[in-house]
Every structure is written in C-alpha cells, then in structure tokens.
Amino acid sequence: MNRRGVLAAGVLAVAGAMAASARVVAESLAGGEDGSGSSAPVVDEDLRTVRALPEPGDGWERSRPAALAIDGTDAVEGTGAEYVSPDGESSLVHVVAWPDAGVAAERAVDDYAEWDRAIAHGELTFACDGPSRTAATALLATSPVLDEETIGA
C-alpha cells in the first residue's frame, strides 16, 4: 500500500476510534494540488502545536503538518503529521493544546487510549500511533518541548 493509502487508512481508523470521545481527527493529510502530499490548509508555523511536533531525524520523512478538526471539543488548537522512518514504518502524531493541564492529562488517557503512546505535558497532549510503543516513545522524544523525564519509558 502506498503512503497515501496508508495515511488514508490511518485517518479512517483515527476517525472511528475518536468519534465517540473528542472527535479530534486529522481533516485531511493525503492528496494535494501543490505537490506537498497534503490537501490540508497550510498550518501556521507559529502555533504551539506545530512547534511541539517531533523533529524527524536523518532518513525520516514528515508530511506537512495539518490542522486537526477540533470542533465540538474544548481544544484550543491541534496539529497532526505523518512520519515515515528510514525502514518504511509509518507513524501518526497528534499534538493538541487544551485549556489546562488537567484536561490535557484526561484527554491523553481517554481520547488516545488505543494509540501506542499518549503523554500530557502542561496543556499539551502528545499522541503517537505507530509500529510499536517503543517506536512511538522514541519519536515523541524528538519533540523540542519534551524531555526524558516527561517521556518516561
């Protein structure tokens, strides 16, 4: 399955898993007329959630960050991106800003229970669904706003 197919399947899986809770899903990460691989609107690079996305390492690819649909939730903003490792494994990452740390912690547990890893840090929820919990933890550890203590094991 090509990257777009994998991403489309991931978006559908995310939509189904989260519809009953926060309905925080990627609007659209596949397609695109501009050659970027994304038909999602350009995301403001100054948003907290964009700046908090993991930084892909050597050999990694990251899709252009896309806004998450946060309508009907208490979320302030949200950004998602797909990451492909050098060995071809795909991971989906969401970073969502909430009104306070308590809500962020609750949403990490409730909304992302089926994902490989979800972490609350301050008002932000970080979630990664990828090939394994270990891979998700390693990817989230590359976020410029998370540290080893926050990530844990």
pLDDT by residue, tens only, the chain of 153 residues: 444 444 444 443 443 334 333 333 333 333 333 444 445 456 788 789 999 999 988 999 999 999 999 888 999 999 999 999 999 999 999 999 999 999 999 999 999 999 999 999 999 999 999 999 999 999 999 999 998 788 875
Residue in this structure with the two tokens 């948003």, named with its chain if needed: 47
Per-residue model confidence (pLDDT) at position 148? 79
Per-residue model confidence (pLDDT) at position 45? 80
CA dist 93 and 95 (Å) reads 7
CA dist 65 and 49 (Å) reads 10
Per-residue model confidence (pLDDT) at position 41? 53
Reduce the DSSP state of residue 148 to 3 states and report it.
helix
Going by the DSSP 8-state scheme, the letter that residue 63 receives in this structure is P
Per-residue model confidence (pLDDT) at position 37? 47
CA dist 24 and 131 (Å) reads 21
DSSP tally for the chain: helices H, then strands E:
5, 7
Per-residue model confidence (pLDDT) at position 31? 36
CA dist 11 and 146 (Å) reads 25
Q: Residue 105: in which H helix or E strand, if any?
A: helix 101-110
Provide the whole-model pTM: 0.74
Neighbouring-strand partners of residue 80: 66, 94
Per-residue model confidence (pLDDT) at position 42? 61
Length of the chain: 153
